[in-house]
Structure 1
């Protein structure tokens, strides 16, 4: 019986491919990563998601035509890994600490490894966003409809909808990841993720309010 269970566990692990399984089985996927993958594996995903996130983050900005497309690509490629590692490192620290308040059992290393694969949806989205940016920068950076550029206008609409849907699903995935890594319930994971965000928003509002009062006399 023990051999049979071990065989079934090995077979199940062989079927887990984080790049694909994260979509529908985030808890099993993150447990697999924690048990079977090194910190280097997690760093790789943090870097890739950072690059993808940097390209997605410049959507509808004024970078173009201020910078040429090749310059924007170079900038995102160089800064993306730094952004990715910093983002995962800081968010892991915050969620690890706040999770402890709700009885979480994760270590910081476990949280880093878990959240690193939470960016996989952005990596999936990246090729489509990159093609859109490279071949129709006007619609990518300014969301302008260009006469005669119907195909990329359609791509722009589809990609924008896809980014919203994937963004929402990414939140669901990360809630499941935090729940599994901290070994507590889903509602505690939701509080662990959203309370720091709420505190940050309130802090920023207060800072802006103070600046307006002090420097503008409002």
Structure 2
């Protein structure tokens, strides 16, 4: 009888609802399949999101932002893939997992598909706002909104829609990552979640101690 891992799957579709079976199929056939492409696209998505949320356009021209997104994004994505792969492999091994770094990288890359899919929703927003998508001040958008209450309602609904989509895709990505990490390590999705959560929490605490705590306890003259 053919095993579930060897049954042909379309990972682009099955990863959304059958993440464990999908990542099992990938690592049993070709654990490097599209891993670097997904990492590059994931990096583009993250750098683009950061450029928009941090208003990079307030301090640099839009074409520099585009260059950073298209060139720096893939580099950051692949670099993060290797760093995350090493960390999640080590943490997972301490929780009883037995995945290789290559398998963990596949789990990370394929679980990032919801975040990459978010680009589909962001691109129309970028086309509409153009350079103002990267700035804190939006005179062109403000002028459009001021034309009629209908425009104001439409823009507000668009903003809410994008926020909801972002939250849903982020949660979906976390669920997929927990399941794919659990599968490659050979344990439950809950331990897969801990494999992600523990180093993320430690990193957050380090950032707090290094950057936030000194400012909180500093007493100036």
Instruction: Please report the TM-score for the alignment, with normalisation by the length of structure 2.
Output: 0.83
CA distance in 2, matches of 1:108, 1:161: 33
- Does residue 213 of structure 2 align to residue 199 of structure 1? no
Please, which runs of 5 or more residues in structure 2 have no aligned partner?
none
Structure 1 residue aligned with 2:179: 176
Aligned length: 211
Shift of 1:44: 1.3
CA distance in 2, matches of 1:199, 1:8: 36
CA distance in 1, matches of 2:3, 2:77: 37
Shift of 1:215: 6.8
Q: 2:105 aligns with which of 112, 120, 124?
A: 112
Shift of 1:204: 1.7
Change in 2 beyond 3 A, CA 1:40/1:177: closer
CA distance in 1, matches of 2:89, 2:67: 33
Give the 3-state SS of the residue equivalent to 1:67 in structure 2: coil
Please, which runs of 5 or more residues in structure 1 have no aligned partner?
none
CA distance in 1, matches of 2:124, 2:133: 12
Root mean square deviation of aligned Cα: 2.7
Shift of 1:213: 7.7
Shift of 1:72: 1.9
Structure 1 residue aligned with 2:116: 123
Structure 2 residue aligned with 1:62: 55
CA distance in 2, matches of 1:118, 1:143: 35
Structure 2 residue aligned with 1:6: 2
CA contact (8 A) 1:132 1:140 kept: no
Shift of 1:39: 2.0
Q: Deviations over 1:122-164 (max 9, x none)?
A: 1111022122123215466549673145444433321121001
- Does residue 178 of structure 2 align to residue 185 of structure 1? no
